[in-house]
Amino acid sequence: MNKPGLRLLGAALIALLGIWAGLKAYSVRSAHHAYGVAVPAGTASAPNPSDSPALDSLASEAAVPHPVIPARLPEFSLKDLTGKPIKISAWSGKSLVINFWATWCAPCRREIPLLKTLAAEWAGRDLEVVGIAVDYRDKVQDFADRFKIDYPVLIGDQDALDVAAKFGMSSPAFPFTVFTDRRGEVVALFVGELHRPQVDFILSEVQDLNQDRIQLPEARRAIAEGLQALTEKRAG
Mean pLDDT over 154-177 rounds to: 94
- Rounded (5°) CA angle 114-217-62: 45
Q: Output the pLDDT for position 66.
A: 55
pTM comes to: 0.75
pLDDT of residue 24 exceeding 50: no
CA distances from 180 to 37, 93, 129, 210, 220 (A): 23, 10, 11, 10, 11
Over range 151-172, report the average pLDDT: 94
pLDDT (mean) for 214-222: 93
Q: Which domains does the chain have, with CATH numbers?
A: 23-216 (3.40.30.10)
pLDDT at 41: 36
pLDDT band, very low/low/confident/very high, at 20 (cuts 50, 70, 90): very low
pLDDT of 67 above 80: no
93-145 pLDDT, tens digit each: 999 999 999 999 999 999 999 999 999 999 989 999 999 999 999 999 999 99
Strand-pair partners of 98: 130, 178
- For the four alpha carbons of 164, 166, 170 and 175, in that order, the dihedral sign comes to negative
pLDDT at 187 > cutoff 90? yes
Cβ atoms of residues 222 and 7 within 8 Å: no
